[in-house]
Structure 1
Amino acid sequence: MSQKFHAFMFPWFAFGHMTPYLHLANKLAEKGHRVTFLLPKKAQKQLEHHNLFPDKIVFHPLTIPSVDGLPDGAETASDIPISLGKFLTAAMDLTRDQVEAAVRDLRPDLIFFDFAYWVPEIAKEHGLKSVIYFVISASSLAHEIVPGGDLGVAPPGYPSSKVLYRRHDAHALLSFSSHYKRLHHRVITGFMNCDVISIRTCEEVEGKFCDYIEGHYQRKVLLTGPMLPLEQDNTKQLEDRWIHWLSRFESGSVIYCALGSQINLEKDQFQELCLGMELTCLPFLLAVKPPKGAKTIQEALPEGFEERVKNRGVVWGEWVQQPLILAHPSVGCFVNHCGFGSMWESLVSDCQIVLLPFLADQVLNTRLMTDELEVSVEVQREDTGWFSKESLSVAITSVMDKDSELGNLVRMNHAKLKEILVCPGLSTGYTNKFVETLQNLVHDTNLEYKHLGNKV
C-alpha cells in the first residue's frame, strides 16, 4: 500500500494561482492524500465550491496583516490594481509567523509554494520538503529567470526565436517592471532553495522550455500536466440567463471575451473594446470589470452603444462560469488576455482563440500560442501598446470567417492539440508520475529520520 502524505499549499494570493492549486489538491485528495490549504480568509468562500474532497482538503484561513499602502480589506490581487502588488507581497511576507505556527502544529510532510520564497527555510527547520509549484508558463519562466531577455533578444540558449518580447510590448513590460524585479528575486530564490521544482504544464506544449529550465538549474523539473478541473467539478449547470441568451444564436457564432480578474482597463480602451466587438457584426458576450474611474459598466459604455447592440451584445461586469460558457455550442470564439488559466481553458475548448495580452507573462504566453503553436491570432497593437477597435475586429474576423485561410489553419492546429490534451491518459499519466515522485520523496525523508533516530 502506498504511503499517504499530508501536504500544505501556500500559493500567491491571486485566484489565478489559488484555483489551479486547488485543482491539484483535488487530484492529491482523490488518491487519498491530505491537504491543508493556506489562504486569505475572504478567499475561502470563493474557492469552497472547487473543493471536491472536504474530508481530505481543509482550508486554513490566514489573517492578512495591515500594510501601509494596501487598501483596507484588500486580501487578494483582484482587490487591488497591479500597481499596488508590492503591498500585497509585503502582506504575504508578514504571514510567515502564521504559516510557521501551522507547520509546527499540523506537521505536514510537504509544502507547496510559489512566490513565498522563504518557505524552504521553514521547511528545512521543521524537517519537511518544499515544492515550488508554478502555475505560469514554462516559456515565461524560462525567459525571465535568465538575464538577457531584452526586447526581441532571446536569453542565451533560449529554445525559441518566436516566444519573445517585441517593440510594442514595452508598454506591458513598463507597467509590470517594478513589481517584476521583486518577483524575479522571489522566483530565483525559490528555485535555488526548494527541494522540488514543478510546473503546471506538459511536454506536449512546452517540453523544450522545461528542458531549458532543467539545464539551467541542473535539476529535474516535475510536470503536473495541464491540471484541469476534475470531471466532478464540471457537473454544475450554466446559469439559466446565459443558457437562454446563448441559445438564441447559431452554433459557433458568439464571441466570448474575458480579460481576467486583474485587468482594469482605462476608460478609452474599455470603449475601444466594446466598439471592436460591435464592428464584428457578430453576437458577443463581453465579461470585464468596470474601467478605471467608473463604478458600473453602464456609465462607461460608448454613447448609443447599448441601443445599437441590444439584440446581439451583452457587456457584463460580474463573475461568469467561464468553462461552461466556452462549452456552449453557440460560442465560437474566445477573446482573452492569455493568462495561463485562460490559455489552458481555450486550448481544451472548440473555440477559435484571439489574444489580447496586457502583462509581461501574458505576452509570452500569447507568442507561444500564436507564433510557436499556431493555434490562435494576436490583436495587433501600436508601438504605444494601444489597440484599436479596428485591429480587434480584424483579428476576430480573420478566424471567424469560414473562408479565411488563417482561420482554417489555427482551427486545424488547435483541434489536433486539443485531441492530445483531453485524452484521459495524458492527465492521469502526469498526475500518477507526479504523486509517485512525491510519495518517494516523503518516504525517503521518513527513512532518513528513522535512521537518524536509530543512531541517537
Structure 2
Amino acid sequence: MEAHSPLHIAMCPWFALGHITSFLHISNKLAKKGHKISFFIPTKTQSKVSHFNLFPHLISFVPITIPLVDGLPPGSETTNDVPRPLIPLIMTAMDRAEPDFEILLHDLKPDIVFFDSAHWIPKLARRLSIKSVFYITVSAVAIGFNLSRNMKLGESKATDVAEAMQPPPGFPDSSIKRLLHEARDYIDLRSKPLGPTNMRIQDRIYVGVQDCDALAFKSCREIEGPFVEYLERLILKPLLLAGPVLPVRPLSTLEEKWANWLGGFKPCTVVYCAFGSETALRKDQLQELLLGLELSGLPFLAALRPPLEVATLKEALPEGFEERVRGRGVVHEGWIQQQLMLEHKSVGCFVTHCGWGSLVEGLLNGCELVMIPQVGDQVLNARLMGNNLKVGVEVAKGEEDGLFTRESVCNAIRTVMEENYSEVGREIRANRAKLQDQLFNKDEEYIDEFSRKLVLFP
C-alpha cells in the first residue's frame, strides 16, 4: 500500500458511552487525514453521539441490533442503560452479536478493524484477511501491570492479596501500587466472569493482546514513556501511540440551562464532579462526596449515578442538602455533555473517578484534578497522575476500608483550588499547566505519525 493511500477502518468499541466517544474522537482525527471510517454502534445509541461525528462524509455509522439476553431490560444497549450488576449482560449481548459483526465486516471489507473488549475480533478479522488493532482506551500503566503480574504471559496467576498490592517485577515505578482494600477489590473483580464464555476481564485483555496484529493507545510518551517502553518489551509486537487525541469541539453547544447556570460564576471557580457512565457509589460514600463539595464553599455541579441502594439520586441526598447549597450547587442524574462542561471557562476543578479518558480530558481542558479512583485501572491511573507526574491530588482514603470522608474531599479540592493553601498545591498547578501545554503542542504530531504507521502497516 502506498504511504499516501487512505485506509478504510472499521471501529468496534465496547458498548459503553465512554468507549464509544473515545473511538469517535480517534475516528475524527483519522477522517481528518482522509481515512474512511465504518463505525459499529448499537442502533438507538447513535443519536446520543452523532454530534461527535465531525466528518459525516467519511465516518459512517453501522447500526448493530442488540441480541436478546435473559435478564437484560428491553431497550438496553450500553452500560449506561443498566445498573452495574447488569453490565455483564451487555458484554453477553455484544458477544452474541459476533455473527452480525462477521457479516458486516465481510461485506464492508475494511483494511483494518479497531476493537477493545471484543476479544474475538482478531480471529474473525484474520479469517477475512483484515488487520486488527487493539485500541486501548485505558492507560499503558494498567495494561502493563495486568499483563505482567496477573496474566504473566502463560504462567500461573497471582491470587495473594500481598502480591497484588506490589508492582510486578521489572515494572518501571515502584510507587504505583495498590492499597490493601484496593488489592482485595482487584482480586474480587478479576475473578468475576463476563459474557457467555465466562471469561474474566483480564482474560479478554490477554486474548486480545495475544491475537491482535498491533496495540494502539490513547496515550503519549510525555505521560507514560517508561511504561510504554516496558510494554514494548513485554508484547513483542507493534505498539502505536495516538497521543492525547485532543477532542475536536463537537458541532453541538452546551445545553442552555447549563450554560446559563455556569455563566453566573467567575472563571475557574466551579467544581465539576463526574464518575463516568458505569460507576455508582455506595449511598454513604455519595453523601460524603456531596458534603465534601458543600464544605469546600465553592460552586459545584455533580453528575452522578444513583447508589445501588436507592432508585433515584434524589433519594440519596443528605438531609437538608438541597436547601443549603441552593444557588451554588447542583446534583444531576443522567447523561451530561462532559467535554463541553470541562471546556466552559467557569469550570476550574474536575473531581473524577480516574477513568483514563476523563483524566486526559480534564488535563487538556486545564482543570485541576481531584482524584477518587474506584476500581481496577482507575487506581493505577490516579497513582500515575498523583505520585509520578504530580499533576493532581488523590483524595485520602482509609487503608483498610477504602472509605473517604467529607473532610478529605474538601481538603483535596482546597489543595488545588486555593492559591495559598499549600506548597503542594502550587507545585501541582504548575506541573498540570506545563503538561497541558506539552499535550497541546504534540497532539497533531502524534496523529500524523499514528496515521503514517497505520498506512504502512504490513
Residue 257 (structure 1) aligned with residue 308 (structure 2): no
CA distance change for structure 1 residues 175 and 325 in 2, over 3 Å: closer, same or farther?
Answer: farther
CA distance change for structure 1 residues 179 and 50 in 2, over 3 Å: closer, same or farther?
Answer: farther
| Number of the residue aligned with 1:5 | 7
Alignment of 1:309-348 (within 5 A): 309-348=325-364
Return the alpha-carbon distance in structure 1 between the equivalents of residues 328 and 215 of structure 2. Answer: 47
Alignment of 1:67-146 (within 5 A): 67-146=69-148
| Number of the residue aligned with 1:147 | 149
CA distance change for structure 1 residues 218 and 170 in 2, over 3 Å: closer, same or farther?
Answer: closer
Residue 406 of structure 2, aligned match among 354, 379, 389? 389
Return the alpha-carbon distance in structure 1 between the equivalents of residues 342 and 226 of structure 2. Answer: 29
Residue 287 (structure 1) aligned with residue 303 (structure 2): yes
Return the alpha-carbon distance in structure 2 between the equivalents of residues 318 and 90 of structure 1. Answer: 24
CA distance change for structure 1 residues 48 and 175 in 2, over 3 Å: closer, same or farther?
Answer: farther
Residue 293 of structure 2, aligned match among 259, 277, 287? 277
C-alpha contact (below 8 Å) 1:325/1:331 kept by paired residues: yes
Q: Which amino acid in 2 is paired with 1:397? A: R
Deviations 1:120-154 (A, max 9, x none): 11121111111111011001111011126744311
| Number of the residue aligned with 1:429 | 445
Residue 389 of structure 2, aligned match among 373, 387, 394? 373
How far is 1:379 from its partner? 0.8
Return the alpha-carbon distance in structure 2 between the equivalents of residues 329 and 56 of structure 1. Answer: 32
Return the alpha-carbon distance in structure 2 between the equivalents of residues 22 and 132 of structure 1. Answer: 15
How far is 1:164 from its partner? 1.7
How far is 1:307 from its partner? 1.1
CA distance change for structure 1 residues 282 and 140 in 2, over 3 Å: closer, same or farther?
Answer: same
Q: Which amino acid in 2 is paired with 1:339? A: G
| Number of the residue aligned with 2:219 | 201
Alignment of 1:226-241 (within 5 A): 226-231=244-249, 233=250, 236-241=252-257
How far is 1:172 from its partner? 4.2
Return the alpha-carbon distance in structure 2 between the equivalents of residues 171 and 400 of structure 1. Answer: 33
Q: What is the total number of aligned residue pairs between the two structures? A: 438
Q: Which amino acid in 2 is paired with 1:266? A: R
> Matched residue of 1:377: which SS?
strand
Q: Which amino acid in 2 is paired with 1:95? A: A
How far is 1:228 from its partner? 2.2
| Number of the residue aligned with 1:156 | 169
| Number of the residue aligned with 1:450 | none
Return the alpha-carbon distance in structure 2 between the equivalents of residues 237 and 54 of structure 1. Answer: 18
How far is 1:412 from its partner? 0.5
Moved more, 407-416 or 260-269: 260-269
Return the alpha-carbon distance in structure 2 between the equivalents of residues 251 and 105 of structure 1. Answer: 51
CA distance change for structure 1 residues 175 and 330 in 2, over 3 Å: closer, same or farther?
Answer: farther
CA distance change for structure 1 residues 332 and 222 in 2, over 3 Å: closer, same or farther?
Answer: same
How well do the aligned residues superpose, as a CA RMSD in angstroms?
1.8
> Matched residue of 2:357: which SS?
helix
C-alpha contact (below 8 Å) 1:171/1:384 kept by paired residues: no
| Number of the residue aligned with 2:438 | 420
Q: Which amino acid in 1 is paired with 2:103? A: A
> Matched residue of 1:260: which SS?
coil
Return the alpha-carbon distance in structure 2 between the equivalents of residues 174 and 78 of structure 1. Answer: 25
Return the alpha-carbon distance in structure 2 between the equivalents of residues 151 and 107 of structure 1. Answer: 43
| Number of the residue aligned with 1:186 | 204
Deviations 1:265-319 (A, max 9, x none): 2222222211111111221111112222434333321111111111221111132
How far is 1:389 from its partner? 1.2
**Superposed structure 1 runs of 4+ greater than 6 Å apart:** none
C-alpha contact (below 8 Å) 1:273/1:392 kept by paired residues: yes
Alignment of 1:210-249 (within 5 A): 210-231=228-249, 233=250, 236-249=252-265
> Matched residue of 1:147: which SS?
helix
C-alpha contact (below 8 Å) 2:165/2:183 kept by paired residues: no
CA distance change for structure 1 residues 175 and 301 in 2, over 3 Å: closer, same or farther?
Answer: farther
Name structure 2 gaps, 5 residues minimum: 151-157, 194-198
Q: Which amino acid in 2 is paired with 1:296? A: T
> Matched residue of 1:316: which SS?
strand
Moved more, 172-181 or 98-107: 172-181
Return the alpha-carbon distance in structure 2 between the equivalents of residues 174 and 283 of structure 1. Answer: 38
Task: Report the TM-score, using the length of structure 2 for normalisation.
Answer: 0.91
Return the alpha-carbon distance in structure 2 between the equivalents of residues 178 and 46 of structure 1. Answer: 33
C-alpha contact (below 8 Å) 1:338/1:357 kept by paired residues: yes
> Matched residue of 1:422: which SS?
helix
Q: Which amino acid in 2 is paired with 1:33? A: H
Name structure 1 gaps, 5 residues minimum: 445-456
| Number of the residue aligned with 1:307 | 323
